[in-house]
């Protein structure tokens, strides 16, 4: 079953999203599938961003996070340390249509 990570970043939502999209997301799009990444959704909140990632399993997430290109992209984006980070085994997972957004 799928594995879900949810984390929040505190700060100006539009500024965080801009930095994330410019520096971090291109690297994630390229590398995450090789580490079991299925999908990622980012939402603006009143206090920053909430990011929900779906993976095929929990086993490959640490290797993805530690990958040098991911670390470099995180540094380039200058994103804050997540103010919260939760992990869940998905009870159910469905995608509808192309899933592209």
CATH T-level assignment (fold) for domain 3-89: Alpha-Beta Plaits (3.30.70)
Give the whole-number percent of the chain exceeding pLDDT 70.
Answer: 96
State the Cα–Cα distance between residues 60 and 36, nearest whole angstrom. 7
Question: Cα–Cα distances in Å, from 13 out to 17, 21, 83?
Answer: 6, 12, 14
| Domain boundaries along the sequence of the chain | 3-89
What global pTM score does this model have?
0.90
Does 94 or 55 have the greater pLDDT score?
55
Query: Of 24-28, 70-74, 93-97, which gets the smallest average pLDDT?
Result: 93-97
Smallest CA-to-CA distance from 51 within 77, 1, 72 is with 77
């Amino acid at each position: 079953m799928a594995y879900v990570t949810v984390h929040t970043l505190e700060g100006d939502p539009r500024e965080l999203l801009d930095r994330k999209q410019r520096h971090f997301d291109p690297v994630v799009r390229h590398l995450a599938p090789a580490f079991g990444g299925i999908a990622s959704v980012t939402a603006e909140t009143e206090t920053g961003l909430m990011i929900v990632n779906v993976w095929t399993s929990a086993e490959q997430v640490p290797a993805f996070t530690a990958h040098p290109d991911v670390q470099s992209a995180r540094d380039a984006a200058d994103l804050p340390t997540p103010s919260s980070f939760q992990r869940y085994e998905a009870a159910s997972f469905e995608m509808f249509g192309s899933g592209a957004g």
